[in-house]
Amino acid sequence: MDATIATLRRNSLDVAAARRRCLGYRRRILDISQQVGALHIAPAFSCTEITDVLYNSLMRRETNGEYRDVFLMSKGHGCMIQYVILEERGVLSRSDLDAYCKPNGRLGAHPDYETPGIAASTGSLGHGLGMATGQAYAEKLKESDVLIYCVLSDGEFQEGSTWEAMMMAANLKLDNLIAFMDFNDFGGLERMSDGHRAFYPLVPKAESFGWEAVEIDGHDESAMQEAVMSRRGGRPLLLVCRTVKGKGISFMENVPIWHYRSPNKEEYQQGLKELAEAPL
């Protein structure tokens, strides 16, 4: 494990390149939004940097280019960002994404197991961390060094099943399990911290369940990379990543309707303009 961390540290994150990539991903998702009636655009924008730092920095690859570590998108409705990254990496093809949510395609609004690059079928919330726990335990039994990365929504932490997984992953001392909570504070209905005040703060809850936990800016890739690399270890790690739902397009940010809606032509043009003018 030490050698792995050393290797990763040598691949230092190029923050400017990451920013350019993320603008490109948002642009691609915006383009796809014009092909189909609706997609989960804001939930993908809130975890764009999280997904980018995982695929383009943290996850190790085999010499043949395949990922050695596992990425499991528990918040299945965030899968657009995963699809566009997998497209860029050549795991999915351009025609796969062109056929998104079309009857001749293989990509739906939630990821399906056995589609290239997809570690589990998700979409119903509260399932991913349990499966990730089983995957991480299997890697322990196999005595491999594979790391399981799991991206969850903050809403999923309202599911009891997520806390069953939190309990077991800590019981089993799964230090090969690293979870990212996309803490955008919006459910489908409203701002979660308004409706469920007693649920906060989150870090002490995770810590009391036996996890190492840290709260961090979920749009700051170097901070997320550093938090993973400098983990104490010996137990699973949760990054509570503060994010903005709809990040990057002003009229989408923190506006619940963009959970599942495609922009019209005018909104699309404005979105493109904002991305083009965004500082690099």
Partner 1 sequence: MRNRFADTFYELGKADPRLCVVVADISPAGSIAKFRHEFPRRFINTGVSEQIMIGMTAGMAQRGLRPFAYTIATFALFRPFEMVRDDLCYQNLPVTVVGIGGGVTYSTLGATHHAQEDVAIASAIPNLSVIAPCDPSEVEAATRWCVAQEQGPVYLRLGKAGEPDLSKAAADPWVFGKLRRLREGGDVCILSYGPIMKRAFALAERFEAHGKSAAIVSLHTLKPLDREGLAKILQGYAHVVVVEECAPNGSLAMRVKELAWDAGATCRIDTFTLKDAFIHCYGSHDDILDAHGLGVAELTARLGLQ
At its nearest, how many Å lie between partner 1 and the CB of residue 209? Answer: 13
Q: How many CB atoms lie within 10 A of CB 51?
A: 26
Among 117, 130, 187, 271, binds partner 1 (CB under 8 A): 130
Instruction: Give 104's strand partners.
Output: none
Question: Per CB under 8 A, does 73 bind partner 1?
Answer: no
Residue closer to partner 1, measured from CB, 123 or 256? 123
The torsion defined by the Cα of 41, 150, 158 and 165, in degrees rounded to 10, comes to 160
Binding region for partner 1 (CB under 8 A) out of 61-69, 139-147, 229-237, 251-259 = 139-147
**Maximum Cα–Cα distance for the chain, whole Å?**
54
Q: How many residues bind partner 1 (CB under 8 A)?
A: 30
- Using the rule CB under 8 A, give the single segment among 60-68, 126-134, 232-240, 253-261 that binds partner 1: 126-134
Nearest Cα neighbor of 50 from 185, 254, 197, 244 is: 244
Q: Please report how close the Cβ of residue 118 comes to partner 1 at its closest, in angstroms.
A: 10
Cα–Cα dist 87/60, whole Å: 18
Instruction: Tell me how far apart the alpha carbons of residues 156 and 133 are, in angstroms, rounded to a whole number.
Output: 15
Whole-number Å distance between alpha carbons of 136 and 141: 9
Q: Say which amino acid occupies 136.
A: A
Decide whether 22 or 129 has the Cβ nearer to partner 1: 129
For the chain, the C-alpha Rg in angstroms (whole number) is 18
Residue 131 binds to partner 1 (criterion: CB under 8 A):
yes
Smallest separation, CB 5 to partner 1 (Å) = 22
Does 138 contact partner 1 by CB under 8 A? yes
Phi then psi for residue 68, to 5 deg, are -85, -45
* Exposed / middle / buried, residue 163 (Cβ in 10 Å: 0-12, 13-18, 19+): middle
Positions of E strands within 184-247: 212-217, 237-242
Site pattern 104..123 for partner 1 (x: CB under 8 A): ---------xx----xxx-x
- If the CB atoms of residues 11 and 171 are measured against partner 1, the closer one turns out to be 171
Nearer to partner 1, 113 or 199 (CB): 113
Backbone angles phi, psi at 214, to 5 degrees: -145, 140
Q: Residue 98 or residue 164: which is nearer to partner 1 going by CB?
A: 164
Of 127, 242, 245, 259, the one binding partner 1 (CB under 8 A) is: 127
CB 53 within 8 A of CB 81: no
Closest to partner 1 by CB, 19 or 205: 205
Binding of residue 62 to partner 1 (CB under 8 A)? no
Q: Which of 46, 56, 115, 135 binds partner 1 (CB under 8 A)?
A: 135
Judged by beta carbon, residue 9 or residue 61, the one nearer partner 1 is 61
Q: How many residues does the chain have?
A: 280
| Subset of 151-190 contacting partner 1 (CB under 8 A) | 160-161, 164-165, 167-168, 172
Question: Which parts of this chain interact with partner 1 (CB under 8 A)?
Answer: 113-114, 119-121, 123-124, 126-127, 129-142, 160-161, 164-165, 167-168, 172
